[in-house]
Amino acid sequence: MDRVIFGDNQFFGVDHLSDDKARQKEQRFKDTREIIRVLDFAHEAGIRTFMCTTYGRIEEICEHFRNNPAKYADFKIYPCMPYAHKYANAVTEMGIGGTLRHFTGGVMGSIARGGMAVVQRDAFKMMQMLVDAEMSMFKGVNTGVIFLQNVVTDLLLGLGMHDFFYEFSEYVQKKYDAEPGYITMNLPRTVDVLHGLGIENPIVCASINKIGFRMSGGLEANEQALAEQKVRAIAMQVYAAGALRPQEALEYICPQQGIESIMFGASSKDHIEQTYELINSLSPEA
Amino acid sequence: MIKAGVIGLGKMGISHCAILNAHAGVEFVGACDTSKLLRWGLGKYSKLPVFDDYKKMIEQARPDCVFIATPTSSHFEIARYCLEQGVNLFLEKPCCLNYADTSTLRELSESKGLLIQVGYHNRFLGTFREVKRLVDAGEFGEIYHFSAEAYGPVVVQEQKETWRSKRSEGGGCLYDYASHVINLVDFILGDIEHVRGTQLKSIFSKGVEDAVYAGLILKNGTTGNLSVSWSEESFRKMSTRIAISGRKGRVEANAQEIKVYRNKSENPEDKAGWALSYLTDCTEPVDFYLRGEEYSAQVDDFVRQVEAGTRQSVNAIQSAGETDRVIELLIADSGRGN
């Protein structure tokens, strides 16, 4: 994976500290062309990976990539699935059974009638169908790593339904020739569980920052896991939702062992370029 | 180590299962639901014991506490049975569909020496806790008015009938979004005694209200506005805000940030003007994170209380149950009771 990965929160009205800022961003990026303009800034700055949740609007971005193959030949998109709000609202409305039927409906159409009953006895098959449904929009786009979103990773982790991690890993490798990634707010625990499943050097994306924000189990346990366990970590929320200034935040992150990649999101050309250069200059062997 | 079970495996129930199962102080002894699909899923792919009948679960698993996350219309019957069996309760919000039932549960829990904690998670959110601390410390002087709001995009077009469209099932914005805001006002500012000019508006729903607008009067005389709608497509997700005006200043807060304004005073040492603080300044880390620190924190608190045999929870029914009384006041005031 690249040292620097571009995130997507800024595009979709997510701001962990301020609702007002989130809405300002949401307004600015209402037009997908504006998102593409910012992605182009990132690309020009030297960034080659964009990590994004599978919102409906990503489809338009993928379409743009497909229509301009020469320009984006070296640009990868790492999908993070599923977009949880979509499913959470559906579960409240339709129940869990209804939601599964609803979202696998399109895929089910291609399977013989009565297939639902068969699939319902095999949740791994169900998961594969959901992955396919989410991946359909990325057709023809370079997706090197496919991530399980933290709500799902952490839910399965808590429930002890760990076999899904293994099945997910097998499926994305076989079907999409991609590596599996796991986003989590519980890094030490997740790494332990993945090792236990024989996933030896897992890609794990987690909140990692100097003040221990959203680092379950505490800063020390997380640092220890990064230093001592075999893990390819992607650090997210490195600014602790804006509580840390970039220089201070990155001085802490860049020399940390176990961190292969650093994710950040930004909206202006200057900010993107400065952050990219700062990460490179603070990283060992830069 | 305490034994815990969960009844009702919807969104909240499943989330509680995960948090409890990951909790070092809890032995997870049972998950119960009437859905065959869910029991099959959990039974086959996790190690959690599953039950199809809560009475059976209590009899066989002997939990110290259970989490009830079934539709609100069933809370009373299930909760009463559990209390009679000597089991402590974490009850999802709102407690019951009428205040009489809530009061019966409260009295029963008191006579049995059991805890009922209610799932109003805002009381465990760092920013709102900090606002309460500042108000209690007199930072804003005597409070004279407030405005409490929540907006979000739950029902943004006409829909077919579900449980959400029936008040008798616990549907409607009042039992959902509005209950959280009422509870938050009660937590930060005190008991709500009267309500005035209540508007329960149906925007897209047929049988129930999508928005609640009302004037609130607290026991201590403070007045405020309640403004809640789950039919605001303009919001990406539920957003809850409170603004409080006092004689010495003002505070505006939501789940992420707190803006404090301190009025100019005679003492030049006092720092007048705006000051900002964020969730990151007032959030304690949790051992296991699922959807927000507050969800884990409320479970941690409950587990501690049950373990210690205490009933000092900030969300105990003695306080959190009063939200049901206010909901009844609002329905009566609106003239839309059924």
Find chain A residues with C-beta within 8 A of B48's C-beta: 159-160
Residue A100: is its pLDDT beyond 80? Answer: no
Tens of pLDDT, residue by residue over A173-197, are: 999 999 999 999 999 999 999 999 9
What is the mean pLDDT of the segment spanning B51-79?
97
Find chain A residues with C-beta within 8 A of B286's C-beta: 216
The pLDDT, as a whole number, for residue B210 is 96
**Nearest residue in A to B17, CA atom:** A159
Residue A38 lies in domain: 4-282
CB pairs under 8 A between A and B: 117
Tens of pLDDT, residue by residue over B235-248, are: 888 999 999 999 99
Find chain A residues with C-beta within 8 A of B176's C-beta: none
The pLDDT, as a whole number, for residue A133 is 87
Confidence of residue A104 (pLDDT cuts 50, 70, 90): low
Tokens (6 digits) for A102: 């609803």
For residue A248, list its beta bridge partners.
Answer: none
CATH of the domain at A25: 3.20.20.100
What value of ipTM does the predicted structure carry?
0.92
Query: Which residues of B touch chain A, with CB atoms under 8 Å apart?
Result: 9-11, 14-15, 17-19, 21-22, 35, 37-38, 40-42, 44-48, 154, 159, 162, 164, 236-237, 239, 241, 254, 256-257, 278-281, 283, 285-291
Distance between CA atoms of residues B68 and A247, nearest Å? 47
Tens of pLDDT, residue by residue over B316-336, are: 999 999 999 999 999 999 987
CA distances for B83 relative to B112, B319, B323, angstroms: 7, 18, 21
Residue B180: is its pLDDT beyond 90? Answer: yes
Q: What percent of chain B has pLDDT over 90?
A: 84
Closest CA to A193 of A204, A209, A177: A204
Nearest Cα of chain B lies from the Cα of A201 at a distance, in angstroms, of 22
Cβ <8 Å between B17 and A216: no
- The total number of structural domains in chain A stands at 1
Residue A89: is its pLDDT beyond 70? Answer: no
The pLDDT, as a whole number, for residue B164 is 77
Give the nearest partner residue to B290 out of A12, A15, A158, using CB atoms: A158
Contact B86, B114 (CB under 8 A): yes
Closest CA to A285 of A254, A263, A264: A254
Structural domains of chain B, ranges and CATH numbers in brackets: 2-121+291-317 (3.40.50.720), 122-284+322-334 (3.30.360.10)
Mean per-residue pLDDT of chain B: 94
Give the nearest partner residue to A120 out of B14, B37, B42, using CB atoms: B37
Find chain B residues with C-beta within 8 A of A196's C-beta: none
Q: Please tell me if residue A196 touches chain B, with a CB cutoff of 8 Å.
A: no
Mean per-residue pLDDT of chain A: 88
What radius of gyration do chain B's Cα atoms show?
20
What interhelical angle do B75-84 and B54-61 show, nearest 10?
A: 20
Residues contacting residue A4 through CB under 8 Å, at least 6 positions apart: A46, A47, A49, A261, A262, A263, A264, A276, A279, A280
The pLDDT, as a whole number, for residue A27 is 78
The pLDDT, as a whole number, for residue A109 is 45
H-run or E-run covering A79: strand A76-81
**Within 10 A of B42 (CB to CB), how many other CB atoms are there?**
21
The pLDDT, as a whole number, for residue A112 is 41
In residues, how long is chain B? 338
Cβ <8 Å between B256 and A17: yes
What is the mean pLDDT of the segment spanning B223-242?
94
Confidence of residue A92 (pLDDT cuts 50, 70, 90): low
The pLDDT, as a whole number, for residue A171 is 97
Contact B242, B148 (CB under 8 A): yes
Find chain B residues with C-beta within 8 A of A157's C-beta: 18, 22
Give the nearest partner residue to A212 out of B41, B46, B285, using CB atoms: B285
H-run or E-run covering B189: helix B179-189
Find chain A residues with C-beta within 8 A of B9's C-beta: 96
Residue B105: is its pLDDT beyond 90? Answer: yes
